[in-house]
Amino acid sequence: ITITKENSKEWEEKLKDVTRITGNLYIYSNAELKAGKLRSVGGYLYIYSNAELKAGKLDEVKGEMYIDKTAKVSDNIIVLQVAKVL
């Protein structure tokens, strides 16, 4: 799923009751996504510059995760450590 500034409202409506995304989630620069029930992303999670993710308690990201230093995430999303196992 690709979220842009232009399509973020449309995707917020589609994802409002979704708890799990089985694939990748990309939130591009200056876009915002409110997905209050989201708990799991089955693929990559990328949040680019000045983008924002407001999600529920995100327990699981199965792929790579990238959060730009200028991006914002909900207070209840805490990134403790990201490690890639080879």
Strand 52-55 vs strand 72-73: parallel, antiparallel, or unpaired?
A: parallel
Q: How confident is the model at residue 85 (pLDDT cuts 50, 70, 90)?
A: low
Residues 48-84 pLDDT 10s: 999 999 998 888 899 999 999 899 988 766 654 455 5
Residues 33-45 pLDDT 10s: 999 999 999 999 9
Residue 86 has pLDDT above 70, yes or no: no
Is pLDDT larger for residue 2 or for residue 74? 2
Residue 17 has pLDDT above 90, yes or no: yes
- Six-digit token string for 41: 């992303």
